[in-house]
């Protein structure tokens, strides 16, 4: 998937259903300094409208021409542009990179029902992969079997050299319990890193638009707020209140969720007391072990901003390294 939750498949489906025709172009492989990552998508309508990008503008024109031909004959195209190709130089890919692009006309090479189900799963914020055989076509959807690709958010060709897996993950989400000073530093950092940050705190003196402008704020009690927000496999749950009355209900909800990260502020002594409380409440050792505490990597952080850096670094490490 691309860095942001772009609506490229949705646009292709809308154009197709409106009778305009549509093709979906996807970067399947890159070498060298290619401008767009594997999995980047471009939707092309039958009348030439585009959404998305496969090369940042370098080869889009050539891909559109191929897409129009694909819509005419209903067959997919596997295109390659590189510095050694005169055609690639002519269309602007002169930076030393090489890319391969799969073009699938919707309704034939990419059946409408497959694309529609992909769009439904994306809307439901569930991870899914669009798997295509580069030699024979026949795309299908898969929700399991590619755990490493889902975790790393990494589309690509499998070792067989012909199976392409396009990963569609829900957007990254960071639920921050506690609108404290650390959260004020963490929210903009998380947003820059590609997360959708959400502040969850029933104390409106902490959780308000003045402290967190342009940020979703939920002022429910943490357990109710987490249920309202919804936690999926791309969610990081960060607890910063330092108050068991708020942190513990959030933890209980977090344990029942597929969140990839759960971290809680507090010293080693504070965490030892937390472990004792949770154990007495019947929480399993496996769930307690999911908590990163004290929260954040040990970088000798001093002050809210540096602590926020350490938290974000630990969250990203959990996401990318498992």
Shared domain for 99 and 182, answered yes or no, is no
The pLDDT value recorded for residue 2 is 36
Q: Is residue 2 part of a domain?
A: no
Shared domain for 163 and 29, answered yes or no, is yes
The pLDDT value recorded for residue 147 is 86
Shared domain for 26 and 159, answered yes or no, is yes
Tell which of 124, 149, 168 closes a domain.
168
Distance of CA 248 to the CA centre of its chain: 28
Tell which of 149, 168, 187 closes a domain.
168
Shared domain for 144 and 274, answered yes or no, is no
Cβ contacts of 74-78, under 8 Å, gap ≥ 24: 74/105, 74/107, 74/108, 74/109, 75/105, 75/108, 75/109, 76/102, 76/103, 76/104, 76/105, 76/109, 76/110, 76/137, 77/101, 77/102, 77/103, 78/28, 78/102, 78/103, 78/134
- Compute CA distances 313 → 5, 50, 258, 318, whole Å: 22, 36, 20, 9
Shared domain for 15 and 148, answered yes or no, is yes
CATH number reported for the structural domain that contains residue 238 in this entry: 3.40.50.720
Shared domain for 242 and 274, answered yes or no, is yes
Q: Is residue 1 part of a domain?
A: no
Whether residue 177 contacts residue 246, with contact meaning beta carbons closer than 8 Å, is answered with yes
Q: Is residue 3 part of a domain?
A: no
Counting Cβ atoms within 10 Å, is residue 92 exposed (0-12), middle (13-18) or buried (19+)? Answer: middle
Shared domain for 16 and 121, answered yes or no, is yes
77, two tokens: 């195209």
State which residues form the domain around 307. Answer: 173-321
Number of domains in the chain: 2
Shared domain for 259 and 140, answered yes or no, is no
Average pLDDT per consecutive 10 residues, the chain (322 residues; last block may be shorter): 66 98 95 80 95 83 94 95 57 64 97 97 91 91 90 91 94 96 98 96 97 97 95 94 94 95 95 96 97 96 96 95 81
The pLDDT value recorded for residue 86 is 53
Q: Is residue 227 part of a domain?
A: yes
Tell which of 137, 153, 168 closes a domain.
168
Q: CA nearest 237: which of 224, 220, 253, 221?
A: 253
- Compute CA distances 217 → 166, 176, 186, 227, 243, whole Å: 33, 10, 14, 14, 19
Shared domain for 248 and 106, answered yes or no, is no
Shared domain for 40 and 141, answered yes or no, is yes
Task: Show the DSSP H helices in 153-267 as ranges.
Answer: 181-192, 222-229, 244-255
The pLDDT value recorded for residue 3 is 39
Q: Is residue 238 part of a domain?
A: yes
Whether the model pTM is above 0.85: no
Shared domain for 117 and 228, answered yes or no, is no
Shared domain for 161 and 216, answered yes or no, is no
């Amino acid at each position: 998937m691309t860095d942001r939750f772009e609506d490229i498949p949705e646009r292709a489906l809308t154009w197709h259903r409106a009778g305009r025709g549509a093709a979906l172009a996807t970067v399947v492989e890159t070498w060298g300094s290619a401008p767009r990552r594997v999995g980047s998508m471009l939707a092309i309508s039958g009348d030439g409208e585009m959404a998305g990008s496969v090369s940042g503008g370098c080869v889009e024109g050539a891909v559109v021409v191929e897409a129009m031909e694909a819509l005419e004959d209903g067959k997919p195209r596997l295109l390659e542009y590189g510095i050694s190709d005169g055609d690639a130089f002519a269309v602007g890919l002169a930076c030393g990179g090489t890319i391969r692009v799969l073009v699938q006309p919707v309704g034939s090479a990419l059946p409408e029902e497959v694309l529609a189900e992909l769009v439904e799963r994306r809307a439901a914020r569930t991870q899914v992969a669009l798997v295509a055989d580069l030699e024979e076509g026949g795309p299908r959807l898969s929700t399991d079997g590619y755990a490493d690709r889902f975790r790393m958010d990494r589309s690509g060709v499998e070792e067989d050299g012909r199976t392409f897996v396009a990963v569609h993950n829900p957007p990254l989400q960071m639920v921050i319990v506690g609108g404290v000073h650390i959260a004020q530093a963490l929210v903009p950092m998380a947003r820059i890193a590609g997360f959708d940050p959400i502040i969850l705190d029933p104390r409106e003196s902490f959780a308000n638009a003045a402290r967190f402008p342009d940020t979703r704020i939920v002022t429910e009690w943490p357990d109710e707020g987490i249920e309202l927000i919804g936690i999926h496999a791309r969610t990081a749950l960060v607890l910063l209140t330092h108050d068991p009355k708020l942190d513990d209900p959030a933890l209980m909800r977090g344990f029942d969720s597929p969140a990839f990260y759960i971290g809680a502020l507090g010293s080693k002594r504070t965490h030892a007391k937390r472990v004792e409380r949770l154990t007495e409440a019947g929480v399993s050792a496996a769930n307690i072990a999911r908590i990163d505490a004290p929260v954040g990597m040990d970088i000798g952080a001093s002050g809210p901003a540096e602590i926020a850096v350490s938290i974000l670094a630990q969250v990203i490490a959990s996401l990318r390294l498992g």
